């Protein structure tokens, strides 16, 4: 869809600039005249929302770093100082902390929209993989940010997550019982025998760096989007100009509207319920000698945490956790169906909605104490989590390949224009 440029500089200055740095041409071709399928719904607005949230996180993060002290004896107090003393510090910190949560809300909607409409399929595999990379970078960045306030949850989340690497001891010890590769990695990450001041310092450094790395990969993601152009809810290719509208004003307006709705909800949480998504234990300073009774990661990692806890063997539990993320990379090749959109795939549609419920269930189970039962029904949470983990893997590794062969898709419309406008209007 990225055809020849239609940009025509209109003034002497823009003509002069265009032969030296065609930046206005780039902006015009990608954000103004870019031909976009005419049938995109509001679920397609989350890319714009994500870009906005990344900007919010970078801007609030830069100013918070002007007041924060990355030292294990001062970090907690410096955050309290931001909350109580720094002008508007409370606002900036709540924007940043809740901004992370809303960033993840948006990215999950974005990912599930993609799975529903089959946008990861050819020719958008690289676009999808770059998205998975951004998601992983977001997880790493958010995890390090969660450590910085140096409360109890910060400290113990850091301890548990970094200890995931120690499980790899079981691999290297197969070859040499004295070679503990995992522990060596963990010491390297900590800079000490455990989570310590050295750990806090390097996490702060990397937490500042990674958002800019994310911004760079977002650039590649958008570039990869603009080669084949947007997928759409019908999942069929654009056949000609009758199927598209220019990005501006059609989608600039549509994106702005959904962004406004999203920001209203974000603002409501920031102003009226800022601690909803946080954990009260993180208002207790870190204590290396006492683990809080129920330690949980932030909500956006709970599904993976439930997987980890459901496996009674340490190394396998860790491999299942990492495997759940790595699986995403293979999705474009696991799905064997030539039809993209779930609208025309009756069986995949069911599998998709079960998968969505499965992911939410895993999230709920991850938030519960380790030895509980499901809403007091007597069904063990651990066994339910095992079942849900099984479905997570089965969805990608069994249902996606098999449904492509066994499912009979519904007939696809001829073009986007006929589906949207009817045959008569499209012919005009």
Partner 1 sequence: MANSSSAEPTRRDFLYVATGAVAGVGAVLTAWPFIAQMNPTPSALALGSIEADLSSVQLGQQVVLTWRSHPLFVRRRTPKEIADARAVPVASLIDPIARNANLPDDAPATDENREIKPEWLVVVGVCTHLGCTPTFNEGDYGGWLCHCHGSQYDVAGRVRRGPAPQNLAVPPYTYLTPTRIKIG
Q: Cα(153)–Cα(292) distance, rounded to whole angstroms?
A: 8
Per rule CB under 8 A, is residue 5 in the interface with partner 1?
no
Is 57 or 279 the residue whose CB approaches partner 1 more closely?
279
Residue count at the site for partner 1 (CB under 8 A)?
42
Among 58, 164, 269, 412, binds partner 1 (CB under 8 A): 164
Per rule CB under 8 A, is residue 174 in the interface with partner 1?
no
Per rule CB under 8 A, is residue 193 in the interface with partner 1?
yes
Instruction: Quickly count: other Cβ atoms within 10 Å of residue 32's Cβ.
Output: 15
SS3 at position 85 = coil
Q: Which stretch binds partner 1 (CB under 8 A): 18-26, 220-228, 266-274, 310-318?
A: 310-318
Per rule CB under 8 A, is residue 159 in the interface with partner 1?
yes
- Token pair for residue 245? 């509208």
Among 198, 209, 325, 425, binds partner 1 (CB under 8 A): 198
**Element (H or E) spanning 90, and its range?**
helix 89-117
Per rule CB under 8 A, is residue 150 in the interface with partner 1?
no
Instruction: Name the minimum Å distance from CB 392 to partner 1.
Output: 19
Is 53 or 157 the residue whose CB approaches partner 1 more closely?
157
Among 381, 122, 102, residue whose Cα is nearest residue 227: 122
Is 8 or 192 the residue whose CB approaches partner 1 more closely?
192
The b/e string for 274-291 (b: 16+ C-beta within 10 A; e otherwise) is beebbbebbbebbeeeee
Instruction: Name the minimum Å distance from CB 310 to partner 1.
Output: 9
Q: Which stretch binds partner 1 (CB under 8 A): 78-86, 227-235, 249-257, 314-322?
A: 314-322
Is 188 or 405 the residue whose CB approaches partner 1 more closely?
188
Dihedral angle sign, alpha carbons of residues 114, 115, 118, 121: positive
Sort residue 169 into left (φ over 0), alpha (ψ -120 to 50) or beta: alpha
Tell me: cis bond preceding 249? Omega within 30 of 0 counts.
yes
Per rule CB under 8 A, is residue 309 in the interface with partner 1?
yes
Phi, psi of 120, deg, nearest 5: -75, -10
Per rule CB under 8 A, is residue 190 in the interface with partner 1?
yes
Enumerate long-range contacts of 398-405, CB under 8 Å, 24 or more apart. Answer: 399/348, 399/351, 400/331, 400/334, 400/335, 400/336, 401/334, 401/335, 401/336, 403/336, 403/337, 403/345, 403/347, 403/348, 403/351, 404/335, 404/336, 404/337, 404/338, 405/336
Q: Which stretch binds partner 1 (CB under 8 A): 81-89, 98-106, 165-173, 250-258?
A: 165-173
- Token pair for residue 327? 């699986």
Contact characters 348-387, partner 1, x per CB under 8 A: ---------------------xxx----------x-----
Dihedral angle sign, alpha carbons of residues 211, 213, 215, 221: negative
Per rule CB under 8 A, is residue 314 in the interface with partner 1?
yes
Per rule CB under 8 A, is residue 93 in the interface with partner 1?
no
Among 24, 74, 91, 160, binds partner 1 (CB under 8 A): 160
Positions in the binding site for partner 1 (CB under 8 A): 156, 159-160, 162-164, 166-167, 170, 177-178, 187-194, 196, 198, 202, 288-295, 308-309, 311-315, 317, 369-371, 382
């Amino acid at each position: 869809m990225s055809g020849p440029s239609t940009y025509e500089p209109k003034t002497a200055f823009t003509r002069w600039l265009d032969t030296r740095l065609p930046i206005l041409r780039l902006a015009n071709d990608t954000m103004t005249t870019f031909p976009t399928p005419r049938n995109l719904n509001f679920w397609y607005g989350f890319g714009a929302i994500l870009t906005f949230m990344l900007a919010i996180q970078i801007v609030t993060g830069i100013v918070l770093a002007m007041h924060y002290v990355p030292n294990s004896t001062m970090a907690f107090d410096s955050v309290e100082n931001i909350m109580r003393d720094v002008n508007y510090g409370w606002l900036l910190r709540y924007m940043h902390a809740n901004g992370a949560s809303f960033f993840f809300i948006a990215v999950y909607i974005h990912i599930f929209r993609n799975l529903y409409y089959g946008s990861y399929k050819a020719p958008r595999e690289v676009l999808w993989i770059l998205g998975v990379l951004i998601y992983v970078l977001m997880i790493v960045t958010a995890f390090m940010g969660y450590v910085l306030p140096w409360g109890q949850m910060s400290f113990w989340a850091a301890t548990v997550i970094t200890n995931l690497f120690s499980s790899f001891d079981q691999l290297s010890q197969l070859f040499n019982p004295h070679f503990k590769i995992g522990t060596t990695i963990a010491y390297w990450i900590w800079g000490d025998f455990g989570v310590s001041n050295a750990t806090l310092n390097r996490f702060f450094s990397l937490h500042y760096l990674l958002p800019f790395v994310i911004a760079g990969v977002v650039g590649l993601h958008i570039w990869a989007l603009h080669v084949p152009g947007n997928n759409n809810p019908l999942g069929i290719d654009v056949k000609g100009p009758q199927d598209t509208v220019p990005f501006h004003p059609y989608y600039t307006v549509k994106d702005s509207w959904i962004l406004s709705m999203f920001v209203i909800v974000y603002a409501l949480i920031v102003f009226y319920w800022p601690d909803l998504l946080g954990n009260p234990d993180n208002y207790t300073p870190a204590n290396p000698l006492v683990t809080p009774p129920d330690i949980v990661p932030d909500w956006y990692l709970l599904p993976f945490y439930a997987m980890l806890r459901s496996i009674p063997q340490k190394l396998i539990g860790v491999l299942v956790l990492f495997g759940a993320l790595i699986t995403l990379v293979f999705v474009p090749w696991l799905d064997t169906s030539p039809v993209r959109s779930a609208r025309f795939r009756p069986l995949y549609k069911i599998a998709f909605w079960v998968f969505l419920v499965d992911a939410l269930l895993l999230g709920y189970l991850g938030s519960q104490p380790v030895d509980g039962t499901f809403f007091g029904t007597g069904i063990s949470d651990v066994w339910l989590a095992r079942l849900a983990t099984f479905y997570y893997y089965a969805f990608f590794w069994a249902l996606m390949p098999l449904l492509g062969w066994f499912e009979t898709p519904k007939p696809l419309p001829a073009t986007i224009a006929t589906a949207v406008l009817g045959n008569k209007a499209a012919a005009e």
